[in-house]
Amino acid sequence: MENETKFSRRAALGALSASAIAAALPARGEGDAPAAEAPAQGKFKYSACKWCYSKMSIEELAAAGAKIGLQGIDLLDVGEVPKLEGTGLVCSLANGPSPIPKGWNDPELHDKLVERSEELLPKIAAAGVERMIVFSGNRWGRSDLEGMRNCARGLRRITPLAESLGVTIVMELLNSKRDHKDYMCDHTAWGAELVQRVASDRFKLLYDIYHMQIMEGDVVATIEEHHAAIDHYHTGGVPGRHEIDERQELFYPRVCRAIADTGFTGWLAQEFIPADPDPVASLEAALKICRV
């Protein structure tokens, strides 16, 4: 992938009808009382990103989530993981060594990132967490090819430790169009090529459906093409990053079926900011939408 024109922008997917979403949800007779349903089950393990529920403590989110079929919480610091003890939930993804803009594409940061990763990875493994998130960093004038080479060189310094501990490092795909201007790992093809260059079973991608719908669209075909490089998924409604229901343009039942058809049985984490007054009801509805 030396030719950087391969990382061209693709048009976003068109909006899908509200009636299609509604048809995928369980029907209820007019005037019927809401039936008591079992927590959402399916081929995936379901988690939610804590930062989206800022008014709830970790313990409160875990307690509410356990009742509706949630199995994990994403994006906790390793020191926060003990708060899940006794809740039945696990930390499905731990925070890594750097903030989003300053990542592995900057060779001047490598020594600090390696040092911090070597401190975090054993703690993450000891806490029973199987994944740690990392970021490419912003471009800061670097070409995509230079940044890819830098990322690969730096990440190869920590993957042997990750392999020995059984922790998978995942780099998140983010959009640089609206939310994270100048971020480098903003196209799936770029990320998949980086996975090949790092060449470790313990380095994969976090495919954020919200971000990639904004950045390149073609979500289902992209997942089908690059699923081998993906270890973790995030959701979110486009536009606005709110509920994944009929108010947004993606048809999540179809997206989730495509993920399941690849054989994926890992973590699907809800990363939308609830706009409705009852965030737990929004989360429960999202779990049902994603059940395949």
Total domain count, the chain = 1
Residue 221 near residue 261, CB atoms below 8 Å: no
Q: Which helix (H) or strand (E) holds 21?
A: helix 18-24
In a domain, residue 278? The reply is yes
In a domain, residue 15? The reply is no
Residue 267 near residue 43, CB atoms below 8 Å: no
In a domain, residue 222? The reply is yes
**Residue among 198, 116, 108, 118 at smallest CA distance from 153:** 198
* pTM score: 0.86
In a domain, residue 11? The reply is no
Q: Cβ neighbours of residue 8 under 8 Å, at least 6 residues apart? A: none
* Number of other CB atoms surrounding residue 243 within 10 Å: 24
> Tell me, what's the pLDDT at 292?
86
* Burial degree of 234 (CB within 10 A; 0-12, 13-18, 19+): buried
Measured between alpha carbons, how far is residue 53 from residues 40, 179, 191, 280, 281 in Å? Answer: 20, 19, 29, 9, 12
Packing angle of the helix pair 252-261, 279-290 (nearest 10 deg): 50
Q: Cβ neighbours of residue 5 under 8 Å, at least 6 residues apart? A: none
In a domain, residue 13? The reply is no
What's 50's domain CATH number? 3.20.20.150
CA angle 186, 188, 189 (to 5 degrees): 115
> Tell me, what's the pLDDT at 42?
67
Strand 203-208 with 168-172, pairing = parallel
In a domain, residue 167? The reply is yes
Q: What are the per-10-residue average pLDDT scores of the chain (292 residues)?
A: 40 37 42 46 89 97 97 98 98 98 98 98 98 98 98 98 98 98 98 98 98 98 98 98 97 97 97 97 97 90
In a domain, residue 244? The reply is yes
In a domain, residue 264? The reply is yes
Domain range spanning residue 275? 39-290
Residue 168 near residue 211, CB atoms below 8 Å: no
CA pair distance 72, 207, nearest whole angstrom:
17
> Tell me, what's the pLDDT at 39?
52
